[in-house]
Amino acid sequence: MIYENSLQFAEKLDQNDSLKHFRNEFYIPKKENGEDKIYFCGNSLGLQAKQTQDYIQKELKDWAKLGVDGHTDAEHAWKPYHEFLTNSMSKIVGAKPEEVVIMNTLTTNLHLMMVSFYQPTHKRHKIIIESDAFPSDKYAVESQIKHHGFDPSDSLLLWQPREGENLCRYEDLEKILDDNKDEVALVMIGSTNYYSGQSFNLKKITELGHQHNAKVGFDLAHGAGNIQPNLHESNADFAVWCTYKYLNSGPGSLGGCFVHERHANNPKLNRFAGWWGHDKATRFNMRKDFSPIPGAEGWQLSNPPILSMAAIRASLDVFEKAGFENLRKKSVQLTGFLEFLVKELNNDKINIITPENPEERGCQLSFQIKDADKSLFEKLTEAGVVADWREPDVIRIAPTPLYNSYKDVYNFIQILKKLLNEK
């Protein structure tokens, strides 16, 4: 697409956008004067779909009316409630339904997956993560290493960008695997890096890991609902994600989990078990030995919070209506427009560290601001732009295709331009 640097052009793109009406299905936070803020923080907390309240109210009403009988008699019975989310979610992450389950929260699921897929031995005990991994992932991995009696200073390997670069190179990952031959037990990477916005080729990473007999898992916190990770095809052993970022399911909502179908019936895998992962036919027969449901559902522990799942269902229904492929198509164009306008600013203070190739990124662009203190970001906030600042000098901007417009992007650039000229 050939972009033009004008408000009219942004408005034309909005008019021709077949997804434009979805913006009205969300609550957009407002400035004091009542105008919409420019909300670019869907990578941190997605906005509320208006229908979410109805979905939650429905469960509250059924609970009031039915009490415990709601488990079986609610319109969307609570006992199998998580199953109502599986089909939509599996499409969004490119998996088979039996490979996907919604349960717990992200970091909890990461631990549960490592119980099964990090089985260190005296020789093979190392884990590779990105050097800029999200802190929670690093803490989780380090604590698993310690839990097994190893020392993170030996067992944790960092895949990092080269000196003077911002992105990780696959040949460097391969080198780490070669240099630590027969010692790497697990490769655990964020599918889309939260800081740089770099989206990795999951299939390639999985192949590299498997060639070296390591297990491979991904954290899709910044991938789910943003890029199409094609989890099944990637052949990854497991993946985990949250649903409150691009999947708009509300603060602290439940997470998702993927276990590749080849592990669906493997009795040799260690796992932490709970009754909700037990064979549905005999779950309420409390005397049975644990017999897991085949597939990802077999990793469930507890009966889940239905109110939170109702919010996820509301959100997934919006994704179903929009169609994930359509969303991704718009997303590529929307972020492309943002990139074009930033380049038009022709300001050498701004360096986009996110890859230029749309296949190597999602909707987020990370701007490194030369000599920036936080004041530029604070002024953006005052002007009604909701974005995100990461120390020491990065502003993350994530225009999402469901509720952001091309005009949002255009208006943001006008504000940024004005602030940069003031300095």
Ligand X SMILES: *Cc1c(COP(=O)(O)O)cnc(C)c1O
Based on the shown chain and the rule CB under 6 A, indicate whether residue 105 belongs to the binding site for ligand X.
Answer: yes
Return the residues of window 13-32 that contact ligand X according to CB under 6 A: none
Asked if 334 interacts with ligand X (CB under 6 A), we say no
Is the Cβ–Cβ distance between 101 and 296 less than 8 Å?
Answer: yes
Q: Which stretch binds ligand X (CB under 6 A): 23-31, 165-173, 218-226, 261-269?
A: 218-226
Question: Does the footprint of ligand X cover residue 104 (CB under 6 A)?
Answer: no
Residue from 361, 367, 363 nearest 413 by CA: 367
| By the rule CB under 6 A, 265 interacts with ligand X | no
For ligand X, which residue of 39, 117, 118, 134 counts as binding (CB under 6 A)? 134
Q: State the virtual CA torsion across 367, 388, 409, 13 in degrees, nearest 10.
A: 110
246 is an annotated ligand-binding site residue: no
Find out whether 82 is annotated in a ligand binding site: no
Which residue number, 342 or 386, has a Cβ lying nearer to ligand X? 386
Dist CA 123 CA 134 (whole Å): 27
376 lies in the site for ligand X, by CB under 6 A = no
Among 59, 62, 130, 137, binds ligand X (CB under 6 A): 137
SS3 content of the chain, % helix, strand, coil (to 5): 45, 15, 40
Peptide bond into 161 cis (omega under 30): no
- Judged by CB under 6 A, does residue 136 bind ligand X? yes
Query: Binding site annotation covers 219?
Result: yes
The SS3 assignment for 5 reads coil
Q: Which of 222, 263, 271, 361 binds ligand X (CB under 6 A)?
A: 222
Alpha helices in 219-323 (DSSP H): 231-234, 306-322
Exposed/middle/buried for residue 8 (C-beta within 10 Å: 0-12, 13-18, 19+): exposed
Question: Binding-site residues, please?
Answer: 106-107, 134-137, 219, 222, 244, 275, 303
Chain contacts with ligand X (rule: CB under 6 A): 105-107, 134, 136-137, 190, 194, 219, 221-222, 242
Question: Binding-site residues for pyridoxal 5'-phosphate, please?
Answer: 106-107, 134-137, 219, 222, 244, 275, 303
